[in-house]
Amino acid sequence: MYVERADIRERCTDAVFERGENYLSEGRIGRLARFGDHITADVQGSRSYDVTVDFGPTPFETACTCPYGGPGICKHAVAVLLAVDDSPPDDERPHVKELLAELSQDALRSFLLDELARDSELRDRFRARFDEERRSVSAYRDEIDQLFDEHTIEYPVVTEAIDFSHWFEQAERYRSRERYRDATTVYRAIATGVEGNSDRIDAAYDHYARVFQRALNGYVECLDAAELTDSELRDAVSVLSERAETAVGPYDERYRDALATLTNE
């Protein structure tokens, strides 16, 4: 696995590149691992952030759980890329494949059940991949509302950027399997979850605006890709129209824009 520093520089600002170099020299990178084309690491900033680099695309794609909203990639991803440039980690995939070939189905099933019992996010990813049962918007909204509740236990408003990547990843998995209706459910829950809790947001406004717009865009895109029946389209239009009429702040206008996109007006 190879990455050129020039490619890293092209994907970030000079200031972010310098901060990434500092993070690397300060030893802020935790376990750096490779599995096929994917690099994962945790980077210690104001708290620990998870960084993923996918070298499948050209030249690469990055994801980080930090709330960075500036141009290009964040300093945490830069630090990880520089670490890969200095000393690429060994690929764990071949050894894992060997282990899988040696294990029985019962052993694999037992291991998977144990991990699913401990990890709710893994359960969601598992169900998104294999379960045909559809969850409701309200079910996802309950999870998102609970997250806002957890961030307002000690203070009545949210003063930091909440990470919604778990739900976005689930929606993207549905999209990759062309389960567009299931993806719309997740996207709609994220958008209405942020809007519905807007009175509890007291900081990181740009972060929540981006989350809302990303979810709303994904919702409309998947509605279009789902090839809805006339009845389903009317229901979707009704949802957006209702939100455009009742939402407050900047949200009503964004709902109207989404409605115009969906109806080609």
- Among residues 242, 136, 168, the alpha carbon closest in space to that of 259 is found at 242
pLDDT in tens, 213-263: 999 999 999 999 998 888 888 999 999 999 999 988 789 999 999 999 998
- Among residues 86, 10, 80, the alpha carbon closest in space to that of 45 is found at 80
Give the DSSP letter of residue 134: P
Residue that is written with structure tokens 């899988």 in the block: 100
**What are the mean pLDDT values of the chain's consecutive 10-residue runs (265 residues total)?**
85 93 93 92 89 84 84 92 91 92 91 89 76 79 92 86 88 90 94 93 87 95 91 91 88 93 83
Dihedral Cα 66, 69, 75, 77, nearest 10 deg = 70
69 and 206 Cβ atoms separated by less than 8 Å? yes
Q: Whole-model pTM?
A: 0.60
- At residue 132, the pLDDT reads 57
Helices and strands: H and E segment counts in the chain: 12, 4
Orientation angle between helical segments 120-130 and 165-176, nearest 10 degrees:
20
- At residue 265, the pLDDT reads 64
* Residue 67 φ then ψ, to 5°: -90, 15
Q: Determine what percent of the chain is predicted with pLDDT higher than 90.
A: 55
- Among residues 207, 139, 208, the alpha carbon closest in space to that of 170 is found at 139
pLDDT in tens, 194-211: 999 999 998 888 889 999
CB atoms under 10 Å from CB of 80, counted, come to 29
C-alpha span between 132 and 238 (Å, rounded): 26
Residues present in the chain in total: 265
- At residue 125, the pLDDT reads 74
Residue that is written with structure tokens 């389209």 in the block: 233
CB atoms under 10 Å from CB of 183, counted, come to 26
C-alpha span between 64 and 43 (Å, rounded): 9
- Domain residue extents for the chain: 5-86, 104-133, 135-263
Orientation angle between helical segments 205-225 and 180-196, nearest 10 degrees:
150
